[in-house]
Chain A
């Protein structure tokens, strides 16, 4: 039943109005109309601009203050639809599905000049996008050439929240049990070989759910899906003539809006359909036991620096939304031109409300925060001891079950891996895990001790702050840097195609090409590369903490040595599904390693090892070995790490599991490893041995063959062996977790 007190009290050029509700911000459906509410501390004038969908000229411009008419009599009446710093009004009888809306704002200061610093940048000739817009049009189909003459290029749209979730809810998989798969929505299925109906879209990911299930991951992390402009800084490559774009999308236009160009339904120019397509994906992933984490970019926006154009924030309230120098230049802690003023209470609230919206309305399971160290800086850029935003997110009741993951550094030199303010909630991308594993993998000296820390969930980084191993998101590769295949195929980056003379992208890759730079038909080199990829996958999957795989690493995806493919909407970035066949061996290995991790709770503890036998099993929870059992070699020359996890200590001795022994030989020759002796009724079985040719390199969990020599195992040069205890009777490997 409609409320009877909701009726128009004012009229403007035929539009029926009444003073709006100041909260919530954005455009929200109310009985009979749409409530528009927008904050600006410094604006003194605001106009609501309405367009018919796609039309170049506005349908109407309704001021929030001025002379209106009384409905019925037409008598002029002055009004100011504003509460505090919030302009708000209800417009009745709007055909909201066919409407796009924006705002014009005016306030103090001269008109903004390109390249000039300024505290305020008010310019009523610009139509601005609502920061709370739940859908943004203008880039409705990916890569479709925009109308550059459009005076309102990123158009806010109105969305209905009536999706039928049935009984779906976020999965709340314990963090220690997660196996994350990082992917780019478009890149995952855009390649023609994906054979999907709508390549490069949310809908296409749904078609690939069986693949994800086969691999065994239980969480996908989507690179940015907030509306962004793929044409931002787009340019023609000097060498190839190809269009280089903002493919990764780490540059937000609308925080509340899913990227229309990622939806197969985007071209229908309907925000609700885009939202529903994404919701359908999330729902189906949940039905298949797969969580969804979003990579969110709150450190900066798409508006750039003094040279940039106003899209939204800078024209609404520059001084509130951005960190500015006293002269009015943009601070650039993000390396991309501007820095969102995250610890301003207004901006902080926007971030909180945004995440709440995604968690509640889209059933998102967690968030990974790009350059999150910025979120801990005060409005002048100084790192805060107790950053209000990070604390607020950690304690928020609606986000209470969401995973919160920080990229714990920024482009301004703040590096907080191990010291990110965590409040018992925040996990981190563990950059040190990546670097140590890479160095150990290529046989660097001085790595054995560091490797032992990484394998245990990096207590050296996190234990001091009272954090457990789930603080550590372990990864060897991610979107930013080499793929796994490139890590073992290139000594140096090859970013020429980015058009910046190979100056962009990281130089410290800790990679090794195994003897030849790039693609080769040398079988020995290729054998070694395959082995190294398997070694990396094995290390990742036996490490305490949360493993993260990069899209395509399981089938040897290459970017041809490019370690910064942010601008390539082409085969550099897309997953080539034809690799499945030639690299079936890698996939099989990765799949089995994932299954092994899921089978064995002893690998997935949420607390650190204690180095003692608190289960009374006769073994400590973790013990360290070398080529001689019980004798680890921590010397700087050591390229060997071996350890044993006692199954009786799984999950703090609450669960009985098999005992697992891992020997990592990153030395360039094979070495005999004396095996620790098991209790009488048990024997060692071999689960993985990267030194053996496929298919003897790995076995299905539960079907591991018994080792003929129970005392010694020869681990090949640059190889990893994983053994598991089991009864000596065939076909049984002991009890497992439910």
Chain B
């Protein structure tokens, strides 16, 4: 499946990136570009909606690491609706400690700063 990424800046400095398809070395730069946009906007929270994401390779994980490093520890990174395979990859490499994983998009939680 083709890769798709969409960036939105919500209220209260929340950056939302919606990912779909396969995030691998070929498509990671597209993701990275959107993360950089969020950084440029001084986002206070990064929300990654990944329920349509089917695969994440190391290059994709590295963008997550990059996001975390670039935005600083005070910026929470939410991963929303990860499929089991994607979550498993995040867990195996220890990144689950750096992100907040939630099953579904609940604005009361995710958009509450």
By a beta-carbon cutoff of 8 Å, the part of chain A in contact with chain B is 95, 97-98, 160, 162-164, 166, 197-198, 203, 263-265, 268, 270, 272-273, 276-277, 279-280, 283-284
Distance between Cα atoms of A265 and B91 in the complex (Å): 10
| CB–CB B94/A276 < 8 A | yes
Residues of B within 8 A of A268 (CB): 57-58, 89
Residues of A within 8 A of B37 (CB): none
What is the chain B residue whose CB lies nearest that of A160? Answer: B62
What is the chain B residue whose CB lies nearest that of A272? Answer: B58
What is the chain A residue whose CB lies nearest that of B91? Answer: A203
Quick check: is B93 within 8 A (CB to CB) of the other chain?
yes
Q: Top 8 nearest A-B pairs by Cβ distance?
A: A280-B94, A276-B93, A270-B58, A97-B25, A273-B58, A203-B92, A277-B92, A272-B58
Digit string of B54-94 for contact with A (CB within 8 Å is 1, else 0)?
00011101100100110000000000000000001101111
Quick check: is B112 within 8 A (CB to CB) of the other chain?
no
How far is the CB of A459 from the nearest CB of chain B, in Å?
Answer: 44
Contacts A97-B25, A268-B57, A268-B58: A166 and B97 contacting too (C-beta < 8 A)?
Answer: yes
What is the chain B residue whose CB lies nearest that of A270? Answer: B58
| CB–CB B62/A162 < 8 A | yes
Distance between Cα atoms of A98 and B65 in the complex (Å): 19
Contacts A203-B92, A264-B92: A164 and B58 contacting too (C-beta < 8 A)?
Answer: no
- The number of residue pairs between A and B whose CB atoms lie closer than 8 Å in the complex comes to 54
Residues of A within 8 A of B95 (CB): 164, 276
What is the chain B residue whose CB lies nearest that of A202? Answer: B92
Which of B59, B91, B92 lies at the interface centre, i.e. has the most chain A CB atoms within 10 A of its CB? B92
How far is the CB of B101 from the nearest CB of chain A, in Å?
Answer: 15
**B25, B65, B88: the one within 8 Å of A164 (CB):** B65
Q: A197-B88, A276-B92 are in contact. List 11 more A-B contacts (CB 8 A).
A: A97-B58, A162-B62, A163-B94, A164-B65, A164-B97, A198-B92, A270-B57, A272-B62, A273-B61, A283-B94, A284-B94
Distance between Cα atoms of A166 and B94 in the complex (Å): 11
**A160, A163, A273, A283: the one within 8 Å of B92 (CB):** A273
How far is the CB of A100 from the nearest CB of chain B, in Å?
Answer: 13
Residues of A within 8 A of B58 (CB): 97, 268, 270, 272-273
How far is the CB of B64 from the nearest CB of chain A, in Å?
Answer: 10
Residues of A within 8 A of B65 (CB): 162, 164
Residues of A within 8 A of B104 (CB): none
Contacts A270-B58, A273-B61: A265 and B89 contacting too (C-beta < 8 A)?
Answer: yes
How far is the CB of B60 from the nearest CB of chain A, in Å?
Answer: 10
Residues of B within 8 A of A272 (CB): 58, 62
Distance between Cα atoms of A198 and B88 in the complex (Å): 10
Distance between Cα atoms of A263 and B91 in the complex (Å): 13
Distance between Cα atoms of A203 and B94 in the complex (Å): 10
Quick check: is B42 within 8 A (CB to CB) of the other chain?
no
How far is the CB of A151 from the nearest CB of chain B, in Å?
Answer: 24
Distance between Cα atoms of A273 and B98 in the complex (Å): 16
**B59, B68, B93: the one within 8 Å of A277 (CB):** B93
Contacts A98-B25, A164-B68, A268-B57: A280 and B62 contacting too (C-beta < 8 A)?
Answer: no
Residues of B within 8 A of A198 (CB): 92
Interchain Cβ contacts under 8 Å between A and B, 26 examples: A97-B25, A98-B25, A162-B62, A162-B65, A162-B69, A163-B94, A164-B69, A164-B94, A164-B95, A203-B91, A264-B92, A268-B57, A268-B58, A270-B57, A272-B58, A272-B62, A273-B58, A273-B89, A273-B92, A276-B93, A277-B93, A277-B94, A280-B92, A280-B93, A280-B94, A283-B94
Distance between Cα atoms of A280 and B68 in the complex (Å): 17
Distance between Cα atoms of A97 and B62 in the complex (Å): 11
Residues of A within 8 A of B97 (CB): 164, 166
Residues of B within 8 A of A265 (CB): 89, 92-93
Which of B58, B59, B69 lies at the interface centre, i.e. has the most chain A CB atoms within 10 A of its CB? B58
Chain B's interface size range is: 10 to 19
How far is the CB of B106 from the nearest CB of chain A, in Å?
Answer: 27
Contacts A98-B25, A198-B92, A203-B92: A164 and B98 contacting too (C-beta < 8 A)?
Answer: yes
Distance between Cα atoms of A1 and B75 in the complex (Å): 23
What is the chain A residue whose CB lies nearest that of B28? Answer: A97
Distance between Cα atoms of A322 and B64 in the complex (Å): 43
Distance between Cα atoms of A268 and B28 in the complex (Å): 16
Distance between Cα atoms of A166 and B98 in the complex (Å): 9
Distance between Cα atoms of A95 and B59 in the complex (Å): 11
Residues of B within 8 A of A95 (CB): 25
Distance between Cα atoms of A148 and B46 in the complex (Å): 47
Distance between Cα atoms of A276 and B95 in the complex (Å): 9
What is the chain B residue whose CB lies nearest that of A281? Answer: B94
Distance between Cα atoms of A197 and B87 in the complex (Å): 13
Residues of B within 8 A of A280 (CB): 92-94
| CB–CB A279/B59 < 8 A | no
Distance between Cα atoms of A265 and B98 in the complex (Å): 19
Residues of B within 8 A of A166 (CB): 97
Residues of A within 8 A of B88 (CB): 197, 264
What is the chain B residue whose CB lies nearest that of A287? Answer: B97
| CB–CB A273/B93 < 8 A | yes
What is the chain B residue whose CB lies nearest that of A164? Answer: B98
Residues of B within 8 A of A277 (CB): 92-94
Distance between Cα atoms of A485 and B65 in the complex (Å): 47
How far is the CB of B46 from the nearest CB of chain A, in Å?
Answer: 15
What is the chain B residue whose CB lies nearest that of A203? Answer: B92
Residues of A within 8 A of B89 (CB): 265, 268, 273
Residues of A within 8 A of B92 (CB): 198, 203, 263-265, 273, 276-277, 280
Digit string of B13-38 for contact with A (CB within 8 Å is 1, else 0)?
00000000000010000000000000
What is the chain A residue whose CB lies nearest that of B65? Answer: A162
Contacts A162-B65, A272-B62, A273-B58: A279 and B94 contacting too (C-beta < 8 A)?
Answer: yes
Which of B89, B91, B93, B98 lies at the interface centre, i.e. has the most chain A CB atoms within 10 A of its CB? B93
Which of A197, A198, A272, A283 lies at the interface centre, i.e. has the most chain B CB atoms within 10 A of its CB? A272
Distance between Cα atoms of A730 and B32 in the complex (Å): 66
Distance between Cα atoms of A544 and B68 in the complex (Å): 47
Distance between Cα atoms of A280 and B61 in the complex (Å): 14
How far is the CB of A684 from the nearest CB of chain B, in Å?
Answer: 48
What is the chain A residue whose CB lies nearest that of B58? Answer: A270
Residues of A within 8 A of B59 (CB): 97
Which of A166, A268, A277, A284 lies at the interface centre, i.e. has the most chain B CB atoms within 10 A of its CB? A268
Which of A198, A276, A277 lies at the interface centre, i.e. has the most chain B CB atoms within 10 A of its CB? A276
Distance between Cα atoms of A98 and B58 in the complex (Å): 11
How far is the CB of A523 from the nearest CB of chain B, in Å?
Answer: 46
How far is the CB of B56 from the nearest CB of chain A, in Å?
Answer: 10
Distance between Cα atoms of A277 and B62 in the complex (Å): 14
Residues of B within 8 A of A163 (CB): 94
Distance between Cα atoms of A273 and B95 in the complex (Å): 11
Distance between Cα atoms of A599 and B95 in the complex (Å): 36
Which of A163, A280, A284 lies at the interface centre, i.e. has the most chain B CB atoms within 10 A of its CB? A280
Residues of B within 8 A of A162 (CB): 62, 65, 69
What is the chain B residue whose CB lies nearest that of A264? Answer: B92
How far is the CB of B37 from the nearest CB of chain A, in Å?
Answer: 20
How far is the CB of A162 from the nearest CB of chain B, in Å?
Answer: 5
Distance between Cα atoms of A166 and B62 in the complex (Å): 16
Distance between Cα atoms of A130 and B14 in the complex (Å): 45
Residues of B within 8 A of A283 (CB): 94
Distance between Cα atoms of A667 and B21 in the complex (Å): 71
What is the chain B residue whose CB lies nearest that of A95? Answer: B25
Residues of A within 8 A of B91 (CB): 203
Residues of B within 8 A of A270 (CB): 57-58
How far is the CB of A438 from the nearest CB of chain B, in Å?
Answer: 41
Distance between Cα atoms of A203 and B96 in the complex (Å): 13
How far is the CB of A334 from the nearest CB of chain B, in Å?
Answer: 34
